[in-house]
C-alpha cells in the first residue's frame, strides 16, 4: 500500500509536470518544480511524470532535489512532444528522421534509468501518410521499437506503448490493436499504456479491453471523458478501478488530464476522484 495516497492497492499516483501549461495539453502542473512537487506531495501524490520534448531541457537538479525533499519519485517520461514540436517519428520514411527519433528515445531511457522510471512511446510513433503505407510503417515501427526496448532493457528501464485515439494518431487506436502489435512483433521489455480518455473514444467496452490486455498493462493514464480531471466527466471510474484490481494491476496511475479550470483545482480534483473510484465504499477507509 502506498502510505501517502492511502489507496488499498499497491498503486502509486503520479502528477504530470512540464515547463509550462497549455490549456489544450494534458499536463496538470508547470512552473517552479520545488513548489509544484511540494504541493503534489501534500495532496497525496507519490510520483511525477515528466513531459518535455528533450531530456536535455529538463531541470533535473531542481526536480531531483524537490523529489528527495518531498519523498516523491519519477514514474515516467512522456516523449510525445518530440513529435509534436520537432516532427521526430519512428515511422518516418526518411531514415535520418527515424534515426533521430530513436536517438531521442535512447536519451530518454538514459534519463529514466537513475530513477527507475518508465519511458512512454506515444505520439512519437508518428502518423501514417496514407493507408497504403500502413504495412511498411508498421514494419518500421516494430523495428524501431525493438531497438529502443532492447536498449532500455539493458538499463532496467521499462517501455510502455500507448493506445491513442484516432484524432491524434491515425493507427493503433484501440487497446486490442495496440496489444496485438506488441504481441505479434514479440516486442521485448514492452507493455501497453491504457489511457481512459482515449479508451472512451476507441474501445467499445473499456473493462473488457483491460481484461484482454491483462498482464500486458504496464501503465495507466486517467482523464475523464472530457479530458478533465477524474470525476469531472461521465466515465465510470469505479468500474475501471474494479477491473484493474481484478488483473492485480500494481503500477502507476497518472494524471494526464487538462489543467482546467486551473492547475490547482485539477490537481486536487483528480486525486480525490481517483481515490473515490479506487477505495471500496465498505472498507471504512474512503
Selection from 122, 57, 124 nearest residue 86 by Cα: 124
Asked if pLDDT for residue 284 goes beyond 60, the answer is no
φ/ψ of 32, rounded to 5, equals -60, 115
In a domain? residue 3: no
Selection from 178, 222, 238, 230 nearest residue 202 by Cα: 178
Q: Which residue has the cell 531514415?
A: 95
**What is the pLDDT at residue 183?**
98
Selection from 162, 238, 144 nearest residue 202 by Cα: 162
In a domain? residue 38: yes
In a domain? residue 116: yes
Q: Which residue has the cell 497549455?
A: 22
Q: Which residue has the cell 514492452?
A: 190
**What is the pLDDT at residue 26?**
97
Alpha-carbon distance of 265 to 235, in angstroms, equals 19
In a domain? residue 284: no
Reported as a single tens digit per residue, the pLDDT across 55-81 is 999 999 999 999 999 999 999 999 999
Name every residue whose Cβ is closer than 8 Å to that of residue 24 and which is 6 or more positions away in sequence: 258
Q: Domain containing 244 — which CATH number?
A: 3.20.20.150
**What is the pLDDT at residue 2?**
63
**What is the pLDDT at residue 99?**
98
- In a 10 Å sphere around its CB, with 0-12 CB exposed, 13-18 middle and 19+ buried, how is residue 238 labelled? middle
Mean pLDDT over each residue of the chain, to the nearest integer: 95
Asked if pLDDT for residue 122 goes beyond 80, the answer is yes
In a domain? residue 93: yes
φ/ψ of 17, rounded to 5, equals -140, 135
**What is the pLDDT at residue 282?**
38
- Own/partner contacts of 171-178, CB < 8 Å, gap of 24 or more, are 171/127, 171/128, 171/134, 171/137, 171/138, 172/125, 173/198, 173/201, 173/202, 174/202, 174/203, 174/209, 175/199, 175/202, 175/203, 175/209, 175/210, 175/212, 175/213, 176/203, 176/209, 176/212
Alpha-carbon distance of 113 to 152, in angstroms, equals 8
Q: How many helices (H) and strands (E) does the chain have?
A: 10, 9
Reported as a single tens digit per residue, the pLDDT across 223-233 is 999 999 999 99
In a domain? residue 243: yes
In a domain? residue 1: no
Asked if pLDDT for residue 236 goes beyond 60, the answer is yes
**What is the pLDDT at residue 9?**
55
- In a 10 Å sphere around its CB, with 0-12 CB exposed, 13-18 middle and 19+ buried, how is residue 128 labelled? middle
Reported as a single tens digit per residue, the pLDDT across 130-176 is 999 999 999 999 999 999 999 999 999 999 999 999 999 999 999 99
**What is the pLDDT at residue 10?**
84
Name the residue range of residue 193's domain. Answer: 12-278
Into how many domains does the chain fold? 1
Alpha-carbon distance of 278 to 245, in angstroms, equals 9
In a domain? residue 4: no
**What is the pLDDT at residue 6?**
74
Asked if pLDDT for residue 27 goes beyond 80, the answer is yes
Asked if pLDDT for residue 50 goes beyond 70, the answer is yes
**What is the pLDDT at residue 8?**
55
Which whole-number Å values give the CA distances from 258 to 2, 170, 265, in the listed order? 25, 22, 11
φ/ψ of 80, rounded to 5, equals -60, -25
Asked if pLDDT for residue 109 goes beyond 60, the answer is yes
**What is the pLDDT at residue 233?**
97
Asked if pLDDT for residue 14 goes beyond 60, the answer is yes
Q: Which residue has the higher pLDDT, 187 or 6?
A: 187
**What is the pLDDT at residue 3?**
60
Asked if pLDDT for residue 24 goes beyond 70, the answer is yes
Asked if pLDDT for residue 281 goes beyond 60, the answer is no
Amino acid at each position: 500500500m502506498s502510505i501517502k495516497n492511502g489507496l488499498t492497492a499497491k498503486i502509486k499516483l503520479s502528477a504530470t509536470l512540464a515547463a509550462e501549461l497549455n490549456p489544450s495539453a494534458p499536463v496538470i502542473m508547470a512552473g517552479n518544480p520545488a513548489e509544484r512537487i511540494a504541493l503534489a506531495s501534500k495532496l497525496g501524490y507519490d510520483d511525477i511524470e515528466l513531459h518535455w520534448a528533450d531530456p536535455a531541457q529538463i531541470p533535473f537538479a531542481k526536480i531531483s532535489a524537490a523529489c528527495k525533499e518531498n519523498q516523491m519519485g519519477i514514474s515516467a517520461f512522456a516523449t510525445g512532444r518530440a513529435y509534436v514540436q520537432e516532427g521526430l517519428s519512428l515511422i518516418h520514411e526518411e531514415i535520418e528522421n527515424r534515426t533521430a527519433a530513436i536517438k531521442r528515445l535512447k536519451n530518454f531511457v538514459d534519463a529514466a534509468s537513475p530513477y527507475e522510471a518508465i519511458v512512454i512511446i506515444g505520439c512519437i510513433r508518428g502518423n501514417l501518410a496514407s493507408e497504403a503505407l500502413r504495412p511498411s510503417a508498421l514494419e518500421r515501427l516494430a523495428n524501431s521499437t525493438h531497438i529502443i526496448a532492447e536498449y532500455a532493457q539493458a538499463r532496467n528501464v521499462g517501455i510502455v506503448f500507448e493506445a491513442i485515439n484516432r484524432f491524434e494518431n491515425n493507427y493503433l487506436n484501440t487497446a486490442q490493436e495496440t496489444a496485438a502489435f506488441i504481441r505479434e512483433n514479440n516486442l521485448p521489455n514492452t507493455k501497453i499504456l491504457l489511457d481512459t480518455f482515449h479508451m472512451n473514444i476507441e474501445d467499445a467496452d473499456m473493462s473488457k479491453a483491460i481484461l484482454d490486455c491483462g498482464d500486458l498493462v504496464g501503465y495507466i493514464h486517467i482523464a475523464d471523458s472530457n479530458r478533465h480531471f477524474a470525476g469531472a466527466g461521465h466515465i465510470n471510474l469505479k468500474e475501471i478501478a474494479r477491473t484493474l484490481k481484478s488483473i492485480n494491476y500494481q503500477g502507476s496511475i497518472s494524471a494526464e488530464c487538462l489543467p482546467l479550470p486551473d492547475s490547482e483545482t485539477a490537481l486536487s480534483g483528480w486525486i480525490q476522484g481517483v481515490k473515490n473510484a479506487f477505495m471500496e465504499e465498505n472498507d471504512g477507509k474512503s
